[in-house]
Protein backbone atom coordinates (compact mmCIF):
# COMPACT_ATOMS: atom_id res chain seq x y z
CA UNK A 1 0.00 0.00 0.00
CA UNK A 2 1.46 3.35 -1.07
CA UNK A 3 2.10 6.10 1.44
CA UNK A 4 -0.38 9.02 1.13
CA UNK A 5 1.39 12.15 -0.09
CA UNK A 6 1.98 15.51 1.48
CA UNK A 7 0.37 18.05 -0.90
CA UNK A 8 1.64 21.61 -1.24
CA UNK A 9 -0.44 24.16 -3.13
CA UNK A 10 1.67 26.48 -5.30
CA UNK A 11 0.61 29.52 -7.31
CA UNK A 12 3.88 31.34 -7.98
CA UNK A 13 3.66 33.58 -4.91
CA UNK A 14 6.39 33.82 -2.28
CA UNK A 15 3.86 32.56 0.27
CA UNK A 16 3.33 29.33 -1.67
CA UNK A 17 7.08 28.77 -2.08
CA UNK A 18 7.52 29.05 1.69
CA UNK A 19 4.70 26.54 2.06
CA UNK A 20 6.45 24.25 -0.43
CA UNK A 21 9.63 24.33 1.67
CA UNK A 22 7.63 23.49 4.81
CA UNK A 23 5.89 20.64 2.98
CA UNK A 24 9.22 19.25 1.77
CA UNK A 25 10.45 19.05 5.36
CA UNK A 26 7.17 17.46 6.48
CA UNK A 27 7.32 14.86 3.70
CA UNK A 28 10.88 13.96 4.64
CA UNK A 29 9.92 13.46 8.29
CA UNK A 30 7.00 11.24 7.27
CA UNK A 31 8.93 9.37 4.55
CA UNK A 32 6.11 10.35 2.19
CA UNK A 33 6.03 11.62 -1.39
CA UNK A 34 5.49 15.32 -1.98
CA UNK A 35 3.02 16.60 -4.58
CA UNK A 36 3.38 20.24 -5.64
CA UNK A 37 -0.04 21.13 -7.07
CA UNK A 38 -0.96 24.20 -9.08
CA UNK A 39 -4.67 24.79 -9.66
CA UNK A 40 -4.87 27.01 -12.72
CA UNK A 41 -7.47 29.73 -12.90
CA UNK A 42 -6.96 31.20 -16.33
CA UNK A 43 -8.56 34.50 -15.43
CA UNK A 44 -5.76 34.95 -12.89
CA UNK A 45 -2.91 34.38 -15.35
CA UNK A 46 -2.63 38.08 -16.03
CA UNK A 47 -0.51 38.63 -12.94
CA UNK A 48 2.68 40.73 -12.91
CA UNK A 49 4.99 37.84 -12.02
CA UNK A 50 3.43 35.27 -14.36
CA UNK A 51 3.03 36.91 -17.75
CA UNK A 52 0.97 34.41 -19.70
CA UNK A 53 -1.49 35.62 -22.34
CA UNK A 54 -4.24 33.10 -21.64
CA UNK A 55 -3.99 29.42 -20.69
CA UNK A 56 -0.61 27.71 -21.18
CA UNK A 57 -0.14 25.63 -24.26
CA UNK A 58 0.18 21.85 -23.88
CA UNK A 59 2.05 20.88 -20.74
CA UNK A 60 3.51 24.36 -20.16
CA UNK A 61 3.01 25.68 -16.66
CA UNK A 62 5.38 28.46 -15.59
CA UNK A 63 4.22 28.17 -11.95
CA UNK A 64 5.27 24.51 -11.79
CA UNK A 65 8.51 25.38 -13.62
CA UNK A 66 9.18 27.98 -10.94
CA UNK A 67 8.47 25.38 -8.24
CA UNK A 68 10.89 22.91 -9.88
CA UNK A 69 13.62 25.55 -10.03
CA UNK A 70 13.00 26.53 -6.43
CA UNK A 71 13.24 22.91 -5.29
CA UNK A 72 16.38 22.34 -7.36
CA UNK A 73 18.02 25.10 -5.35
CA UNK A 74 17.50 23.07 -2.19
CA UNK A 75 19.75 20.28 -3.46
CA UNK A 76 20.30 17.87 -0.53
CA UNK A 77 17.06 19.04 1.06
CA UNK A 78 15.07 16.97 -1.42
CA UNK A 79 17.13 13.82 -0.93
CA UNK A 80 14.94 10.78 -0.32
CA UNK A 81 11.70 12.63 -1.08
CA UNK A 82 9.86 11.74 -4.27
CA UNK A 83 8.47 14.99 -5.71
CA UNK A 84 5.71 15.21 -8.31
CA UNK A 85 4.44 18.36 -10.00
CA UNK A 86 0.74 18.35 -10.80
CA UNK A 87 -1.32 20.90 -12.74
CA UNK A 88 -5.10 21.02 -12.38
CA UNK A 89 -7.68 23.29 -13.98
CA UNK A 90 -10.48 24.80 -11.93
CA UNK A 91 -11.15 26.74 -8.76
CA UNK A 92 -8.53 26.30 -5.99
CA UNK A 93 -11.10 26.68 -3.23
CA UNK A 94 -13.02 23.72 -4.65
CA UNK A 95 -10.28 21.42 -5.98
CA UNK A 96 -7.70 21.70 -3.20
CA UNK A 97 -10.02 20.43 -0.42
CA UNK A 98 -10.85 17.41 -2.61
CA UNK A 99 -7.16 16.43 -2.58
CA UNK A 100 -7.48 15.95 1.17
CA UNK A 101 -9.36 12.71 0.56
CA UNK A 102 -6.12 10.99 -0.55
CA UNK A 103 -3.45 13.14 1.15
CA UNK A 104 -2.12 12.88 4.69
CA UNK A 105 -1.40 16.60 4.85
CA UNK A 106 -2.26 19.70 2.81
CA UNK A 107 0.09 22.69 3.04
CA UNK A 108 -0.43 26.19 1.67
CA UNK A 109 0.64 29.76 2.25
CA UNK A 110 -1.48 32.22 4.15
CA UNK A 111 -2.16 34.23 1.01
CA UNK A 112 -1.91 33.67 -2.71
CA UNK A 113 -1.83 36.08 -5.61
CA UNK A 114 -5.42 37.24 -5.52
CA UNK A 115 -7.32 39.35 -3.03
CA UNK A 116 -6.24 42.44 -1.18
CA UNK A 117 -2.69 42.88 0.07
CA UNK A 118 -3.99 43.75 3.54
CA UNK A 119 -5.69 40.38 4.05
CA UNK A 120 -4.05 38.17 6.68
CA UNK A 121 -5.47 34.98 5.19
CA UNK A 122 -6.75 34.40 1.67
CA UNK A 123 -10.12 32.92 0.77
CA UNK A 124 -8.54 29.72 -0.57
CA UNK A 125 -6.73 29.15 2.72
CA UNK A 126 -9.98 29.51 4.64
CA UNK A 127 -11.83 27.18 2.27
CA UNK A 128 -9.16 24.47 2.41
CA UNK A 129 -8.78 24.64 6.20
CA UNK A 130 -12.56 24.40 6.58
CA UNK A 131 -13.36 21.71 4.01
CA UNK A 132 -10.42 19.31 3.57
CA UNK A 133 -10.69 15.79 4.99
CA UNK A 134 -7.04 15.74 6.11
CA UNK A 135 -5.09 18.11 8.36
CA UNK A 136 -4.24 21.43 6.71
CA UNK A 137 -1.12 23.46 7.54
CA UNK A 138 -1.14 27.18 6.78
CA UNK A 139 2.31 28.81 6.69
CA UNK A 140 2.07 32.53 7.58
CA UNK A 141 4.16 35.30 6.17
CA UNK A 142 7.27 36.21 8.15
CA UNK A 143 7.09 39.34 10.21
CA UNK A 144 3.81 38.67 12.00
CA UNK A 145 3.79 40.04 15.51
CA UNK A 146 1.81 38.54 18.37
CA UNK A 147 0.88 40.15 21.65
CA UNK A 148 1.54 38.38 24.89
CA UNK A 149 4.56 36.87 26.54
CA UNK A 150 6.54 34.41 24.42
CA UNK A 151 6.94 30.93 25.86
CA UNK A 152 10.44 30.34 27.12
CA UNK A 153 12.32 27.07 26.84
CA UNK A 154 14.99 25.64 24.58
CA UNK A 155 14.45 23.31 21.65
CA UNK A 156 11.58 22.74 19.23
CA UNK A 157 8.04 23.14 20.53
CA UNK A 158 4.59 22.16 19.26
CA UNK A 159 1.53 23.87 20.78
CA UNK A 160 -1.94 22.35 20.93
CA UNK A 161 -5.17 23.78 22.25
CA UNK A 162 -7.68 21.57 24.09
CA UNK A 163 -11.35 22.44 24.31
CA UNK A 164 -12.42 20.94 27.62
CA UNK A 165 -16.12 20.98 26.66
CA UNK A 166 -15.58 18.99 23.44
CA UNK A 167 -12.07 17.52 23.22
CA UNK A 168 -11.13 15.86 19.96
CA UNK A 169 -8.89 12.81 19.90
CA UNK A 170 -7.77 13.56 16.33
CA UNK A 171 -6.31 16.92 17.39
CA UNK A 172 -4.35 15.43 20.28
CA UNK A 173 -3.19 12.46 18.21
CA UNK A 174 -1.89 14.75 15.46
CA UNK A 175 -0.13 17.04 17.95
CA UNK A 176 1.63 14.18 19.76
CA UNK A 177 2.65 12.56 16.45
CA UNK A 178 3.99 15.86 15.09
CA UNK A 179 5.97 16.48 18.28
CA UNK A 180 7.43 12.96 18.02
CA UNK A 181 8.41 13.50 14.37
CA UNK A 182 10.17 16.75 15.27
CA UNK A 183 11.75 15.59 18.50
CA UNK A 184 9.87 18.46 20.13
CA UNK A 185 8.18 19.03 23.43
CA UNK A 186 4.42 19.48 23.40
CA UNK A 187 2.82 22.44 25.09
CA UNK A 188 -0.84 21.77 25.85
CA UNK A 189 -3.03 24.81 26.52
CA UNK A 190 -6.47 24.65 28.12
CA UNK A 191 -8.36 27.86 28.83
CA UNK A 192 -11.40 28.26 31.03
CA UNK A 193 -13.69 31.33 31.06
CA UNK A 194 -13.20 33.64 34.00
CA UNK A 195 -14.84 35.43 35.61
CA UNK A 196 -18.01 33.41 35.07
CA UNK A 197 -21.04 35.44 34.10
CA UNK A 198 -24.20 35.01 36.12
CA UNK A 199 -27.48 36.25 34.71
CA UNK A 200 -30.24 36.69 37.30
CA UNK A 201 -33.91 37.37 36.79
CA UNK A 202 -35.56 39.82 39.16
CA UNK A 203 -36.18 38.13 42.47
CA UNK A 204 -33.72 35.29 41.88
CA UNK A 205 -31.17 34.44 44.57
CA UNK A 206 -27.55 34.63 43.53
CA UNK A 207 -25.80 31.22 43.57
CA UNK A 208 -22.75 30.66 45.76
CA UNK A 209 -19.54 32.33 44.64
CA UNK A 210 -17.51 30.03 42.39
CA UNK A 211 -14.02 29.17 43.58
CA UNK A 212 -11.55 29.88 40.77
CA UNK A 213 -8.99 27.41 42.15
CA UNK A 214 -11.64 24.69 42.09
CA UNK A 215 -12.50 25.47 38.45
CA UNK A 216 -8.83 25.41 37.47
CA UNK A 217 -8.17 22.14 39.30
CA UNK A 218 -11.21 20.50 37.74
CA UNK A 219 -10.12 21.67 34.28
CA UNK A 220 -6.63 20.31 34.85
CA UNK A 221 -7.99 16.95 36.01
CA UNK A 222 -10.23 16.64 32.96
CA UNK A 223 -7.46 17.51 30.49
CA UNK A 224 -4.98 15.16 32.14
CA UNK A 225 -7.52 12.41 31.59
CA UNK A 226 -7.74 13.31 27.89
CA UNK A 227 -3.95 13.30 27.62
CA UNK A 228 -3.31 10.01 29.43
CA UNK A 229 -3.73 7.59 26.47
CA UNK A 230 -1.65 9.83 24.21
CA UNK A 231 1.13 10.10 26.79
CA UNK A 232 1.16 6.30 26.96
CA UNK A 233 1.46 5.95 23.17
CA UNK A 234 4.15 8.65 22.92
CA UNK A 235 6.21 8.24 26.06
CA UNK A 236 9.13 9.91 24.26
CA UNK A 237 7.23 13.20 23.95
CA UNK A 238 7.46 15.52 26.97
CA UNK A 239 4.02 17.14 27.29
CA UNK A 240 3.50 20.15 29.57
CA UNK A 241 -0.03 21.25 30.45
CA UNK A 242 -0.89 24.90 31.04
CA UNK A 243 -4.35 25.72 32.41
CA UNK A 244 -5.22 29.42 32.53
CA UNK A 245 -8.26 31.66 32.61
CA UNK A 246 -9.27 33.85 29.72
CA UNK A 247 -9.24 33.87 25.95
CA UNK A 248 -8.12 30.60 24.33
CA UNK A 249 -7.31 32.24 21.00
CA UNK A 250 -5.15 34.91 22.61
CA UNK A 251 -3.22 32.33 24.61
CA UNK A 252 -2.58 30.17 21.53
CA UNK A 253 -1.44 33.17 19.48
CA UNK A 254 0.94 34.27 22.25
CA UNK A 255 2.30 30.73 22.53
CA UNK A 256 2.90 30.59 18.77
CA UNK A 257 5.91 32.86 19.14
CA UNK A 258 9.06 30.79 18.49
CA UNK A 259 6.93 27.63 18.19
CA UNK A 260 7.37 25.14 15.36
CA UNK A 261 3.64 24.58 14.97
CA UNK A 262 0.28 25.39 16.58
CA UNK A 263 -2.37 22.67 16.33
CA UNK A 264 -6.08 23.50 16.53
CA UNK A 265 -9.27 21.65 15.68
CA UNK A 266 -12.31 22.27 13.56
CA UNK A 267 -15.90 22.31 14.77
CA UNK A 268 -17.84 19.09 14.56
CA UNK A 269 -20.92 19.01 12.38
CA UNK A 270 -24.11 19.19 14.41
CA UNK A 271 -27.70 18.32 13.63
CA UNK A 272 -28.76 21.95 13.51
CA UNK A 273 -25.47 23.12 11.97
CA UNK A 274 -24.50 20.50 9.36
CA UNK A 275 -22.10 22.75 7.44
CA UNK A 276 -18.38 22.53 8.13
CA UNK A 277 -17.12 25.38 10.30
CA UNK A 278 -13.73 26.43 11.59
CA UNK A 279 -14.85 27.93 14.89
CA UNK A 280 -13.97 31.36 16.27
CA UNK A 281 -10.79 30.26 18.09
CA UNK A 282 -9.38 28.43 15.07
CA UNK A 283 -10.25 31.35 12.80
CA UNK A 284 -8.47 33.82 15.10
CA UNK A 285 -5.39 31.60 15.35
CA UNK A 286 -5.23 31.29 11.56
CA UNK A 287 -5.32 35.07 11.24
CA UNK A 288 -2.82 35.99 13.92
CA UNK A 289 -0.48 33.11 14.90
CA UNK A 290 3.20 33.67 14.21
CA UNK A 291 4.09 30.04 13.54
CA UNK A 292 2.58 27.63 11.01
CA UNK A 293 -0.90 26.47 12.03
CA UNK A 294 -2.29 22.96 11.61
CA UNK A 295 -6.09 22.69 11.41
CA UNK A 296 -7.17 19.12 12.14
CA UNK A 297 -10.60 17.85 11.08
CA UNK A 298 -12.64 16.16 13.81
CA UNK A 299 -12.41 12.44 14.30
CA UNK A 300 -15.32 10.62 12.68
CA UNK A 301 -18.11 9.78 15.11
CA UNK A 302 -18.03 6.29 16.58
CA UNK A 303 -20.49 3.83 15.17
Could you write out the DSSP letters of every residue in the chain?
-PPPPEEEE--SSHHHHHHHHHHHHHHHHHT--EEEEEEE-GGG-EETTEE-SSSPSTT--HHHHHHHHHHHTTGGGGTT--EEEEEEES-HHHHHHHHTTT-SEEEEES--SSS-TT-SS-HHHHHHHHH-SS-EEEEPPTT----SPPPP-SS-EEEEE--SSS--HHHHHHHHHHHHHHT-EEEEEEEE-SSPP----TTPPPPPPPPHHHHHHHHHHHHHHHHHHHHHHTTTS-EEEEEEES-HHHHHHHHTTT-SEEEEE-PPPBTTB-S----HHHHHHHHH-SS-EEEEPPPPPP-
Domains annotated for the chain, with CATH where assigned, are 6-139 (3.40.50.620), 157-199+208-296 (3.40.50.12370)
Q: What is the pLDDT of residue 274?
A: 46
Greater pLDDT, 280 or 146: 280
Q: What is the pLDDT of residue 280?
A: 85
Q: What is the pLDDT of residue 110?
A: 82
Q: What is the pLDDT of residue 117?
A: 41
Task: For residues 91-113, give the mean pLDDT.
Answer: 87
Q: What is the pLDDT of residue 92?
A: 87
| 137 pLDDT above the threshold of 90 | yes
As a whole number, the mean pLDDT across the chain is: 82
Greater pLDDT, 243 or 167: 243
Q: What is the pLDDT of residue 73?
A: 79
pLDDT tens per residue across span 254-270: 999 999 999 999 876 55
| 276 pLDDT above the threshold of 80 | no
| 63 pLDDT above the threshold of 80 | yes
Report whether the peptide linkage leading into residue 195 is cis, meaning its omega lies within 30 degrees of zero: yes
Q: What is the pLDDT of residue 151?
A: 59
| 128 pLDDT above the threshold of 80 | yes
Range with the poorest average pLDDT among 40-49, 214-223, 236-245: 40-49
pLDDT tens per residue across span 215-239: 889 999 999 999 999 999 999 999 9
| 199 pLDDT above the threshold of 60 | no
Task: For residues 46-52, give the mean pLDDT.
Answer: 46
Amino acid sequence: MSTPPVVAAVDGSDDSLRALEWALDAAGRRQAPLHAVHVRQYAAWFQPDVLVAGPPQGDEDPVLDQARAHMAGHGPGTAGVEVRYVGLDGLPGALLPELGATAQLLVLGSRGRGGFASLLLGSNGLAVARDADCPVVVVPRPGRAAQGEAQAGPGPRVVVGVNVDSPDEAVLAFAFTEAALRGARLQVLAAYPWPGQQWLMPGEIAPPVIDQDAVENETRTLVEGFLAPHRARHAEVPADLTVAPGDAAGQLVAASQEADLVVVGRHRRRLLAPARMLGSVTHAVLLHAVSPIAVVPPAPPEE
